[in-house]
Amino acid sequence: MNLRRVCLVLHAIVGLLASGTRTPLVGAQTVVTGFGGYEMRYRGDTIWNQRDTTMSRAVFRGDTVFRSTYVLGRLTNTTAYVVHGDKATVIEQRDGAGTVRAMSLATRTTSAAAVLAEQHMLEQTVRSSAILDLNKTIRAQTAAMGVTMPAFDAPSSPADVQRYAFSANTNISQQGDTVRYITGCVEAPPVDSVVYVLFSNDSLHRVSAPTRTFDRYMVAAVRADMSSTLIQRAGVLGARPSGLPGVRKWPCDRR
């Protein structure tokens, strides 16, 4: 009898494994990586867009779009829209617990472009990923010929301190596996630093309080932040014109 029960359990496990192999959820998804540190996946009528700790999911059914946002794996909100040409109407909003939120009539109509952001972004990412693949091939071929093309990837674990002027008030410094996001500066206090330790491209640990380990999407976002400043520094977009009107430069701005 015990042997029969064991056989039944084993049969059930094999059945479950076989059914899992038959509908491989992850395997059927197509994954494309964007340049800004985000990853897009799509399958059937659904698009997932993930960057750092945030994932947005858009499900398309006829003229209706269901958009959900997840932060650290937890659902924060879902909105349903109906798209009519260039416009979209919000038909329902729910919070993370699934409770329907009250809506005002004034905020119910919005631009279809905003609602279809994932759809347009995916199309652009699919097109740009083809260009990135071509770029990688060209780089490999030119490297084989002894010609090095400029790269805009931040080093993985540099021995010397690398500095990246990220924005007017945020500077990133990288040394070894440690990355510091420094907000503010001595001239414009308060100064606040968040320290991360990178484990290659797999995961990342926030050493500063509150300590926490993040997955590879956070690594991709941090690496994209550093790489984006290298593009600006290289002047790919042309030299920054001088003598234009603007606000006084912020003292922490190293760009």
Q: Return residues touching another protein (CB under 8 A).
A: 42, 44-47, 58, 60, 62-65, 83-87, 112, 116, 119, 122-123, 126-127, 167-170, 184, 188, 237-241, 244-248, 250, 252-253
**Between 112 and 207, CB nearer to another protein:** 112
**Between 111 and 208, CB nearer to another protein:** 111
Residue 245: phi and psi, rounded to 5, are -65, 150
Nearest-Å Rg of the Cα atoms of the chain is: 24
**Between 146 and 246, CB nearer to another protein:** 246
Pairing of strands 46-51, 54-61: antiparallel
Residue 44 Cβ, how far from another protein at the closest point, in Å? Answer: 7
Task: Tell me the C-alpha distance between 211 and 176, whole Å.
Answer: 19
**Between 185 and 195, CB nearer to another protein:** 185
Residue 252 Cβ, how far from another protein at the closest point, in Å? Answer: 6
Residue 219 Cβ, how far from another protein at the closest point, in Å? Answer: 23
Task: Tell me the C-alpha distance between 2 and 191, whole Å.
Answer: 67
Residue 9: phi and psi, rounded to 5, are -65, -45
Task: Tell me the C-alpha distance between 179 and 206, whole Å.
Answer: 10
The C-alpha angle 108, 110, 112, rounded to 5 degrees, equals 135
**Between 75 and 112, CB nearer to another protein:** 112
**Between 64 and 135, CB nearer to another protein:** 64
Residue 156 Cβ, how far from another protein at the closest point, in Å? Answer: 27
CB atoms within 10 A of CB 203: 15
245 preceded by cis ω (within 30°)?
no
Residues ≥6 apart with Cβ < 8 Å to 193: 180, 181, 182, 183, 208
Residue 139 Cβ, how far from another protein at the closest point, in Å? Answer: 22
Instruction: From 32, 36, 38, select the one nearest 51 (Cα to Cα).
Output: 38
Residue 140 Cβ, how far from another protein at the closest point, in Å? Answer: 23
